[in-house]
Structure 1
Amino acid sequence: MKKIAMLTLLTLVSSASAVKVGALIPLSGASSVSGQAQKNGLLLAVDEINKAGGVLGQPIELIIEDDQSNPAKAVPAFTKLVTVDRVDFMVGGLGSSTTLAITGAAKQYNTFMAWSGAASPLVEDAMKDYPYFFHYHPWAYYNFEAILAFFKNLKGNKKAKNIAIAYEDGPFGSTGLQDTVAAFKKAGFNVVLTEAFKAGSGNFAPLINKAKTQKVDIFYWIGYDVDALPLVQQMKESNLDVGLVYGAPPSWPIGFEKNKLSQGVASLTMWTPELPSTASKNFVKAYKAKYGSITDEYFAPLAYLNLKTLAEAINKAGSTNKDKVAEVMAKTTFDTPLGKLSFTPSQKIKYQGFKGSNWVTFQFRDEKRIPIFPLKVAKKTVLYPMP
């Protein structure tokens, strides 16, 4: 009888334990602005989930580790979450290089990954046969489709034709570069320069000097927030004459819009605080209540919905069984601040979320981010050439 009673007690204790979710995000290093936005979104989601009753009747437990924007740091941080903290699920993820580094460990430990970042198709290749990988962020080729559509519109109206490409030399910037160049050429553009740089180095003189030998209508750069200010500052100091600077970092430096050097710089976002949907308005209201102001970084609502949708799927599954949760995730359409979310196959993985239909191009204008494309959401026409 004592043995039966003890087993019953252990079962009750086990069933009452909190669901642990690990988050691997860059709170320091080159991607820290995006990582801090992710952290804020995740913590807001925890508040709302637990206020609504938690997961499987218990408060959800979120354990955050900093990958330091460094693949060498990401692997031990990921391993700790899985083996020491023994998390049930993983969320977060931002950099392609850090995500690529942990794909082997994820497969080794059979980890369920609801992943909000990493756009490189190299990650897609690595996870194409993995049954527990749900990818929220559009892959780079979806992103590029939105960028190319804007450039074609710019070309038609403003005769912008010559493109210089500067890219960080990791997986995020360099993957698919040849395909990018080919797509630009097919669309009628002249690619006059392709030049790599080291993210976070702050040294852009070599590529700027090469760009000065060409007529550049569009300067297209792919890097991280840490690269933005030194790049535009050195371009200004070198008197590099370009029609438009178009950046594709996951986030921009805090306060960048207030710097005069930002005026006219264009970029891409998946979300703005002005979106009219109820889900977005509710997020903005809750975010302001918790943090005192709203962010412009889309990784905050993306991380928020990352955890919220996972918690909803676990509750619907009534279990932490990975197969049951995956089945629910695959069949559910979620209402999120970024729009409706459902998981369907991409080119190589089974569970791809957003595919780029909600990308918006904006320009930094008068200390704000002003939507300029697609035309149906544009608040102003494009400022070209830049001041």
Structure 2
Amino acid sequence: MGDSSREQETTGDASSAGRRRGLDRRQILKTTAGGAAGLSLAGCLDTYGSIVGSDEAEPVTIGVLAPGPNSDTTGRSNLRGAQIAVDELNEGGGILGRDVELAVGDTNRSEPEGRRQYQRLVLDEGADVTVGVATSEVLEGILDDVAEQETIHLTAGSVTMTPSELISQQYEKYKYHFRVGPLNGHDLATHQIDFLDAMGGELGWESFAVLVEDYIWTESLWDVYQDELDGDVTFWEQYPPETDDFSDTYDEIASTDADAVLEAVAHTGATSLVDWNRTQQPFGFGGVHMPMQSPAYYEQVDGNCEYAVGYTNVTPTAEYEPAKSFIEEYQNRHNGNSPIYTGYSSYDAVHVFAKAAEEAGTLDSDELVGTLENISVSGTTGTIEFYGADHEFAHDVRYGEDYVHPVYFQWVEDENGEGVQNVIWPDDQAEGDYVEPDWL
């Protein structure tokens, strides 16, 4: 899942910038009423916790929760996307006239470590908001902490349905969570069905073998597949994470005459895809395949993803703004390497928070909740708006042609022998037609 091995990350400035100076903002706000006389000579606190009239307004701190931000592709893109957004904000005057800084927490894809890092960012680093979290288990692990700290968290990576379910059940407790990207699991699967409805005939895909890794994040996708595809499915399997050989599975699928394998994988994707390509299975391959989203994936698997079809929010060749400008800046900073999905979502999340703070005129989380519920931001992944508090997917990013509407692409080889993500759907972003594997 990693970007090119030549890529290196420098995070010293981001992590060191997250250290708080002076008294914690929340403690100041709690003690302002009782200590007003003692502050009279230095000036009064404004509504953001800064001393009016002082030359050093406290920075706004963005806490980034990312797995292995120096080494893991997902976490590295999380951090880099957030950093670009912060730099842009500082060049434009910051948030509410104050500088913006990053504090970084490495979740290590571990629920206990994710909780520890979340608490450190909010309690020790004084984060005004947290963004990130790419692993569903980690996100689910911090939801009670987010509720307890009453601090906005903007997810940028995980698709688990648990946050919206909790918000629907206990709004006042869990209302501080919003998902900027990617789509939640239900909408992700719905988008997949929409793609098949639109393109299945052109691809020659009318019957499917559904192959899904057995992780928390796939549960909602599995439910949608069973509801929407039942009559078209010749084979169902939720395979265990330790599976490292798909030859028997593919033999069984081939015997059912399925036109294509429909996958939902994140942690275990390489083996199933490479096995399909190397053994030239008699069916197509496509679906929600998180590793395949990386622009460096073709090189990483020695071209053994050629002809596979995958989903992503944005490819490196996107021509619309602000995606194009963000991609160019990312590439300029990082030796030509392009972001993956977490980079786009983190970048968007920081800008969403900034706009909400400016519209509300405050960093107070309770006031920001209402602003975020009504916000609309032109992001790299589309128009970002959130489902309302009464919706079954409360506070998740909206899916649809007028909102966030990802693309489907196919890995093909260009005239230079290099792999490219060729967008095949939707039509208004298509860069070419589907190419059937040369062995079929």
Question: Normalising by the residue count of structure 1, what TM-score does the alignment of the two structures yield?
Answer: 0.87
Mark the CA change 1:5 to 1:71 in structure 2 (over 3 Å): closer, same or farther. Answer: closer
Q: Which residue of 2 aligns with 1:304?
A: 347
Is residue 249 from structure 1 mapped to residue 282 from structure 2 by the alignment?
no
Name the residue aligned to 2:226. 181
Deviation at 1:205, TM superposition (A): 5.2
Count of residue pairs the alignment pairs up: 381
Counterpart residue number, 2:42 = 9
Pairing 1:360–2:404 present = no
How has the CA–CA distance of structure 1 residues 169 and 28 changed in structure 2, closer, same or farther, with 3 Å as cutoff?
Answer: farther
SS in 2 for 1:365: strand
Contact 1:244 / 1:384 at 8 angstroms: preserved in 2?
A: no
Shift of 1:6: 4.2
Which among 146, 154, 171 is matched to residue 106 of structure 1?
146
Q: CA deviation at 1:42?
A: 0.6
- 1:233 pairs with one of 274, 278, 283: 274
What's the secondary structure of 1:332's corresponding residue? Answer: coil
Other-structure match for 1:169: 214
Identify the residue that residue 430 of structure 2 maps to in structure 1.
Answer: 378
**How many angstroms apart in 1 are the aligned matches of 2:36 and 2:121?**
33
In structure 2, relative to structure 1, the CA distance for the partners of 1:252 and 1:206 (3 Å cut) is farther
Paired amino acid for 1:52: G
Supply the AA of the counterpart residue of 1:243.
G
In the alignment, does 2:256 pair up with 1:214? yes
Q: Give the Cα separation in 2 of the matches to 1:125 and 1:115.
A: 15
1:96 pairs with 2:139: no
Q: Residues 132 and 315 (structure 1 numbering): CA distance in 2 closer, same or farther, change over 3 Å?
A: same
Q: Give the CA deviation at 1:183.
A: 0.8
Deviation at 1:365, TM superposition (A): 0.7
Amino acid at match of 2:238: E
2:179 aligned with 1:135: yes
- CA, structure 1 residues 204+252, in 2 after alignment: closer, same or farther (shift >3 Å)? farther
Residue of 316, 328, 331 corresponding to 2:371: 328
Quote the offset at 1:103 in angstroms.
1.1
Residue 192 of structure 2, aligned match among 147, 152, 162: 147
Residues 38-57 of structure 1 mapped to structure 2, 5 A cutoff:
38-57=78-97
Is the counterpart of residue 21 in structure 1 residue 62 in structure 2?
yes
Deviations 1:124-155 (A, max 9, x none): 21333222222212222222222112223443
Aligned 8 A contact 1:162 1:192 in 2: no
Distance 1:202 1:68 in 2: 23
After superposition, the C-alpha distances for 1:344-366 in whole angstroms (9 at most, x for unaligned) are 32842443334143211100011
Code of the residue aligned with 1:216 in structure 2: it is A
Partners of 1:33 and 1:254 within 8 A in 2:
no
Residues 144 and 356 of structure 1: CA distance in aligned 2, closer, same or farther (over 3 Å): farther
Q: Name the residue aligned to 1:64.
A: 104
Task: Give the alignment's TM-score, normalised by structure 2.
Answer: 0.77
Q: Structure 1: how far apart are the matches of 2:380 and 2:406?
A: 13
Q: Is the CA contact 1:37–1:299 (under 8 Å) kept in the aligned structure 2? A: yes
Change (3 A) 1:213 1:169: same
Kept after mapping to 1: 8 A contact 2:293/2:310: no
Listed as ranges, the gaps of 5+ residues in structure 2 are 1-34, 52-56, 414-418
Tell me how far 1:41 sits from its aligned partner: 0.5
Instruction: Name the amino acid aligned to 1:193.
Output: W
Alignment RMSD: 2.9
The Cα offsets for residues 322-342 of structure 1, whole Å up to 9 and x where unpaired, read as: 133233333332222223222
Q: d(CA) in 2 for partners of 1:253 and 1:279?
A: 19
CA distance in 2, matches of 1:28, 1:142: 28
Query: 1:287 corresponds to which residue?
Result: 330
